[in-house]
Amino acid sequence: MTSAGRFAPSPSGQLHVGNLRTAILAWLFAWSTGRQFLLRVEDLDRARAGAEEEQLRDLAAIGVRWDGAVVRQTEREPIYAEAIARLTAAGLTYECFCTRREIQEAPSAPHAPQGAYPGTCRYLSPAEVEFRRSSRPAAIRLRAWTDEWTVKDILHGSYTGIVDDFVLRRNDGVTAYNLAVVVDDAAQGIDQVVRGDDLLPSTPRQAYLASLLEVPVPEYAHVPLVVNSDGVRLAKRDGAVTLGDLAEKGIPAETARDMLLESLGLPAGPLDQALSVFDPLVLPQEPWVWPLR
């Protein structure tokens, strides 16, 4: 099995400089540790026609190259179904009929952490499940046997976070991100996950699920985000934030790449130069404020 890192964008629109900075970091982490670097398009949800092509083009424009063919999650449903079937056979799933509103309004279970699913459907009788199925398609949830899990992160050290009975398959039949990401990382031999630190709180759930599926837990590095001048995670509405926006201002992709590298304390120029001096332990720990509008 290969040893690999990856970048896994959701093709919901053009990548912005925050996404591109994370991609550069993921590439540097993988290459500096002799790993392959894979690209996975997370198109189960929020896919916009044409976005994948734009994203691949923009990654190539800043010099991020990947090994092998791009993997798309929509082509992998049978693999996710198999993983859910395995968990179900082990008694580790249940059907949930809750609406979003019911979950919001449910009193949280004693000692349950804030934001965790309160477990409303966990103990429905078979007859009740049968009855509920006639009125609403079920989501599939994990039957978790812990309410927290600890992961190790290269940049954050030991991190403990919530594990609840999170959704594995939504009630519209779409596989949930937390299941797909664990199954795909394992199937692709990905043993290093570098991504934005907004995803750190989901990581204990994913590592716990990996342990239940008996697949290796990757090493994690959750990197700081790029933020706007209000300190809020960068979004498309923040002005000139995609390579397309920047090109309109006369700023070429190479200049954008150089700004991103310099924001990381790395030398401007082709990524190979940054690679030769890359040291994860001296990366800036704080979010970076994007200086343009």
Question: Which parts of this chain interact with ligand GLU (CB under 6 A)?
Answer: 8-10, 42, 181, 195, 199
- CB nearer ligand GLU, residue 184 or residue 258: 184
- CB nearer ligand GLU, residue 96 or residue 225: 225
- Smallest separation, CB 247 to ligand GLU (Å): 22
Q: Where are the beta strands (DSSP E) in 106-251?
A: 139-142, 148-153, 157-162, 167-169, 192-196, 219-223, 226-227
- Smallest separation, CB 225 to ligand GLU (Å): 11
- CB nearer ligand GLU, residue 199 or residue 251: 199
- CB nearer ligand GLU, residue 96 or residue 203: 203
Burial 205-233 (b: 16+ CB within 10 A, else e): bbbbbbebbeeebbbbbbbbbbbbeeeee
The values of phi and psi at residue 271, to 5°, are -60, -25
- Smallest separation, CB 185 to ligand GLU (Å): 8
- Smallest separation, CB 195 to ligand GLU (Å): 4
The answer to whether 159 touches 221, Cβ cutoff 8 Å, is: no
- CB nearer ligand GLU, residue 38 or residue 142: 38
With CA atoms as reference, report the closest residue to 264 among 287, 231, 247: 287
